[in-house]
Amino acid sequence: MSRLALPYRTPPATVVVPEGWRLVLGDEELPLPEALDDWDYQMDVELRRAVRIDVPRARAGAGLPADAVLGLAAIWTATGSNLRGCLRRVPLTGDGVQDIELRGTLRGVDLGGVLTLDTVLVLSGVSSTHAPFAPHRAGSLLWSDQATLRLQGDAPQFPMTVIDFEHTSFPTEAAWHLQIGAHLHSAAMGSLLLLVNERNETVATAFANAGKPRAVDRAVLSMVYADCARIMLEHALQQEQFVDGADFPEDSLGATLTNLFHRLFPGSTVHDLRLRREHSPSLFASELQAATQIFKEA
């Protein structure tokens, strides 16, 4: 394993004693899992962890004076949205051993893909005096660790919102509608939007309970995701540029549809699937139903 070689002194790793990240679900907490299979863009992610820091030892180990201001921060990055931000930042100005809680809530609409959590101890305040080879620039990294949470499972994921279909051009009694762009080279995040009709309490409640779904919620979500997969694949097969070997930009709509195709129909070709849909639509529907494993864990 490679290690980052910094051009200045850093304290021993033992000055920081972190507990593991925990996922907060209502009144319950659980250790951060590898994946959150029931997540969707409607579900915010609340996280917390406790960290104990021996501040005087951290300063001394880095060759910093006693008045140096340190900072502890949790930085998040989401591959699905290409967004990055700070979950929490805490200045460390006192002495002695300090117990810090890093806690915050990330909006589901800002996430997707793999969520990376970097916890970092940095030099916050620049000191006029410092020992040789000691860090002296604000932001100098003194300690860090990293954890990940996969939010994007096998189901197609995209931004969503709950609205009243009464004020739209969609049928008032429809439960949901997937908006999908026509340009395959456009960014996927701006080309897909799942609209859920708030008038349909069964579906709206299922998405509201996505973090802790009941059996009926799992069944509804399974149906929605299967239908969205159908719409996305049918949309792809109608596009002339969606062919075997097509090269679409990363995170584009075309790349998202290509990944979905290969995940649901591994070993098949776009040409063969397009022919089956044209000449045997009922077989195509059944194969897609099987590929999405609808109701498998409902």
With bands split at pLDDT 50, 70 and 90, how would you rate the model's confidence at 128? Answer: low
Q: Are strands 192-197 and 160-163 parallel, antiparallel or unpaired?
A: parallel
Contacting residues for 111 by C-beta, under 8 A, at least 6 apart: 39, 41, 45, 78, 80, 81, 83, 151
Per-residue confidence (pLDDT) for residue 4, from 0 to 100: 61
Domains and CATH numbers, the chain: 13-150 (2.60.40), 160-291 (no CATH)
- Average pLDDT estimate for 28-42: 81
What gap in Å lies between CA 125 and CA 222, rounded to an integer?
A: 51
Lowest mean pLDDT among 1-15, 17-31, 41-55, 131-145: 1-15
Q: How confident is the model at residue 189 (pLDDT cuts 50, 70, 90)?
A: confident
- The pTM (predicted TM-score) of the whole model is 0.61
Q: With a cut of 50, say whether residue 154 has pLDDT above it.
A: no
Q: Tell me 170's DSSP state.
A: S
CB burial of 67-80 (b: ≥16 within 10 Å; e: otherwise) equals ebbbbbbbbbbbbb
3-state SS, residue 167? helix
* Rounded-to-integer distance, Cα 26 and Cα 12, Å: 37
43 vs 149: which has the higher pLDDT: 149
Q: What share of the chain is helix, strand, coil (3-state, %, to 5)?
A: 30, 30, 45
Model confidence at 187: pLDDT above 70: yes
Closest CA to 176 of 146, 152, 206: 206
